[in-house]
Amino acid sequence: MKKDMSIIGVPMDLGQNRRGVDMGPSAMRYAGAIERLQRLQYNVSDLGDIPINRPDGKDDKRDGNLRNLQQVAEGNQALAEMVDQEIGKNRFPLIFGGDHSIAIGSLSGIAKHYKNLGVIWYDAHGDLNCGETSPSGNIHGMPLAVSLGIGHEKLTNMLHYQPKVKPENIVIVGARSLDPGERELIREKGIKVYTMHEIDRIGMTKVMQETIDYLQERTDGVHLSLDLDGLDPSEAPGVGTPVLGGLTYRESHLAMEMLAEADILTSAEFVEVNPILDDKNKTATVAVGLMGSLFGEKLK
């Protein structure tokens, strides 16, 4: 993995309706993220946080069932530009959320640099909704669809190109809560999904080995988008949309270690850490531990 790394915080909480997830970047820094990566010999530069404008209070699903569309689009635009610039300097972007809507900006900035970007979506959810299919109007349930070019054009056309990602270059891991419209899209586009059912059946080792082999043969870069709600809420309670029956701490570390060993990642983000809903910063601490494994910590 690239040894020059840029950390970008995105204190975004407007893609959903539980306050507190905007403090995710601080919580992960407080849990020692920067020091941990520096100890692993990364040359880390912490670029601080992207400014997020507050909504005008009227909100607001004015724009086709998309809550806070304007501010979510603006924040993501700034993030996209920053990510694009850091990759241009040949640095590995590591992004701290914020709710999962920030993947719209990350992927816009990243995918410009790859013909065939692969994406690992580690999540309880598919985040494949659009205004028409979303049960909530929350944009954090939409970023993966947006990256495929599905959704409001203020989001899909960020940095003036689309789609960002091809459906066959996506692997979803940990899914256990998919809305009807999302299931349909998965079927229609043939997106590869490992639900908890498959993970229980074949085990995390095989799931990650298949994921790595699959992406290695078809992509020229891989982004990891890790939503902490992919883990079980007993181990990662500080998330806004917890779903029972999730991935364990151990399975998650195994997944990170296998990714480190395969050395296929070119960017990553950790999202949905909400310290207000957490238990003594446990979820941010878990996130930072996972970063340790992902970036090469070993016991021997």
**Binding site residue list for Mn(2+):** 100, 123, 125, 127, 227, 229
Is 127 a catalytic site residue? yes
Is 140 a catalytic site residue? yes
Based on the shown chain and the rule CB under 5 A, indicate whether residue 251 belongs to the binding site for Mn ion: no
Is 125 a catalytic site residue? yes
Is 227 a catalytic site residue? yes
Provide the 3-class DSSP secondary structure of residue 112. Answer: coil
Torsion of CA 29, 75, 2, 173, to 10 degrees: 80
Based on the shown chain and the rule CB under 5 A, indicate whether residue 100 belongs to the binding site for Mn ion: yes
Q: How far apart are CA 223 and CA 214, in angstroms?
A: 14
Select 74 or 272, whichever has its Cβ closest to ligand ARG. 272
Based on the shown chain and the rule CB under 5 A, indicate whether residue 13 belongs to the binding site for Mn ion: no
- Catalytic one among 86, 229, 269, 278? 229
Is 229 a catalytic site residue? yes
Contacts of 44 (CB under 8 A, 6+ apart): 5, 6, 7, 34, 37, 38
Residue 148 interaction partner, one of Mn ion, ligand ARG, none, beta carbon < 5-8 Å per kind: none
Select 14 or 212, whichever has its Cβ closest to ligand ARG. 14
Q: Which residues are annotated as a binding site?
A: 100, 123, 125, 127, 227, 229
* Span near Mn ion by CB under 5 A; candidates 11-19, 26-34, 122-130, 289-297: 122-130
Residues that bind ligand ARG (CB under 6 A): 100, 125, 127, 129, 134-136, 138, 140-141, 179, 227, 229, 241, 272
Select 221 or 233, whichever has its Cβ closest to Mn ion. 233
Is 279 a catalytic site residue? no
Question: What's the farthest any 2 CA atoms get from each other in the chain?
Answer: 56
> Tell me, what amino acid is at 11?
P
Q: Please say whether the beta carbons of 115 and 272 come within 8 A.
A: no
Residue 65 interaction partner, one of Mn ion, ligand ARG, none, beta carbon < 5-8 Å per kind: none
Q: How far apart are CA 110 and CA 133, in angstroms?
A: 27
Based on the shown chain and the rule CB under 5 A, indicate whether residue 103 belongs to the binding site for Mn ion: no
- Catalytic one among 123, 182, 251, 269? 123
Q: How far apart are CA 51 and CA 82, in angstroms?
A: 12
* Span near Mn ion by CB under 5 A; candidates 39-47, 55-63, 96-104, 245-253: 96-104
Is 253 a catalytic site residue? no
67 CB-contact burial (10 Å; exposed 0-12 / middle 13-18 / buried 19+): buried
Contacts of 286 (CB under 8 A, 6+ apart): 228, 231, 235, 236, 249, 252
Q: Please say whether the beta carbons of 191 and 163 come within 8 A.
A: no
Based on the shown chain and the rule CB under 5 A, indicate whether residue 158 belongs to the binding site for Mn ion: no
Q: How far apart are CA 96 and CA 237, in angstroms?
A: 17
The CB-of-148 to Mn ion minimum distance in angstroms stands at 15
Is 179 a catalytic site residue? no
Active site residues: 100, 123, 125, 127, 140, 227, 229, 272
Binding site for Mn ion (CB under 5 A): 100, 123-125, 127, 227, 229
